[in-house]
């Protein structure tokens, strides 16, 4: 509790929910400007490495872990699942542009026919269901492995999330995600931004806090704490619990909009998933 109080003190009054306005590109540039002013020593692309952009010691341990990446098995398994045909003879490759190779930078996107945000994980299950297969659970396991393989084939591509002008519902979904990020919730009454914008780079218990920029470039993630690979929405749920809020469902409309906002904020950064974290 004492540490939380300390965090409140250091977060006081630096940023608030009005910090960003309605235009996504203006929002993104404002955040870039904000972090670059605060951390002039951190290169923009470094934000894709999360807390390791700020913490030298943790970064060394992380680089050692990356010598034998703990997510490698998931990539291999994912490739196997990806290439195994459905019972109707079709495959994942038939559902995606470019056969699903190197496309992660375009997710999430707003699907006008559906009237909703489509994340890569949702698209994987849509593909399964369109081909008569059951949907997979969203937090980990087979779906996370397929997502890991698809991320791996997209490494080095630049995040390219679009908010289509021609459909005002796309901007509305982005706005909903942004509101979510800047709204306080839970018994501790913290917004995502209180930790990851105002307090980015500061310590919370054993961790430094990652910045908003780059939070979406590297999913799914193998976390030592999980002992396995997990999806971005699994992490969202943990951060809900962290402030003692009831965690929302993975792939709920709220979380998909949140991912839309967060991924747009990572535009122009290189994809580097899957990744490892403590």
Give the residues lining the site for ligand HEC (CB under 6 A): 50-51, 190, 192, 194-196, 204, 207, 209-210, 215, 221, 235-236, 239-240, 242-243, 258, 277
Can you give the C-alpha Rg of the chain in angstroms?
18
Least distance from ligand HEC to the Cβ atom of residue 62, Å: 11
Contact 269, 45 (CB under 8 A): yes
127 as an active site residue: the answer is: no
Q: How far apart are CA 209 and CA 207, in angstroms?
A: 6
CA distance from start to end of the chain: 23
| Least distance from ligand HEC to the Cβ atom of residue 50, Å | 2
As measured in angstroms, the least distance from the Cβ of 220 to ligand HEC is 10
- State the minimum distance, in angstroms, from the CB of residue 159 to ligand HEC: 14
Q: Which is nearer to ligand HEC, 94 or 238 (CB)?
A: 238
The residue among 202, 183, 140 whose CA lies nearest residue 7 is 202
Cα 102 to Cα 80, 82, 144, 151, distances in angstroms = 17, 13, 16, 7
Q: Could you tell me the two tokens for 92?
A: 């994942």
d(CA 88, CA 68): 37
Q: Closest residue (Cβ) to ligand HEC?
A: 50
Q: Which of 95, 127, 195, 239 is catalytic?
A: 239
Choose among 232, 227, 229: nearest CA to 214: 232
Q: Which is nearer to ligand HEC, 35 or 92 (CB)?
A: 35
Which residue numbers are catalytic? 239
């Amino acid at each position: 509790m004492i540490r939380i109080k300390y965090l409140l003190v250091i977060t006081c009054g630096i940023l608030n929910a009005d910090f960003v306005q309605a235009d996504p590109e203006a929002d993104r540039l404002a955040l870039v400007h904000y972090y670059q002013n605060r951390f002039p020593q951190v290169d923009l692309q470094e934000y894709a490495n999360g807390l390791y952009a700020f913490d030298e010691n943790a970064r060394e341990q992380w680089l050692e872990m990356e010598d034998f990446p703990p997510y490698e098995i998931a990539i291999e398994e994912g490739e196997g699942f990806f290439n195994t045909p459905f019972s109707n003879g079709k495959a994942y490759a038939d559902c995606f542009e470019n056969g699903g190779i190197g496309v992660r930078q375009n997710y999430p996107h707003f699907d006008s026919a559906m009237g909703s945000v489509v994340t890569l994980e949702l698209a994987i299950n849509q593909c399964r269901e369109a081909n008569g297969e059951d949907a997979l659970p969203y937090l980990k396991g087979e779906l996370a492995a397929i997502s890991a393989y698809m991320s791996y084939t997209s490494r080095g591509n630049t995040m390219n999330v679009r908010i289509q002008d021609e459909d005002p519902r796309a901007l509305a979904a982005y706005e909903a995600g942004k509101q979510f990020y800047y709204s306080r919730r839970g018994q501790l009454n913290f917004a995502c931004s209180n930790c990851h914008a105002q307090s980015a780079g500061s310590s919370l218990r054993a961790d430094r806090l990652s910045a908003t920029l780059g939070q979406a470039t590297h999913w799914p993630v193998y976390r030592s704490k999980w002992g396995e690979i997990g999806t971005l929405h699994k992490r969202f749920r943990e951060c809900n619990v962290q402030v003692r809020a009831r965690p929302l469902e993975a792939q709920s409309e709220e979380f998909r909009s949140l991912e839309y906002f967060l991924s747009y904020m990572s535009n122009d950064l290189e994809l580097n998933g899957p990744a490892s974290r403590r």
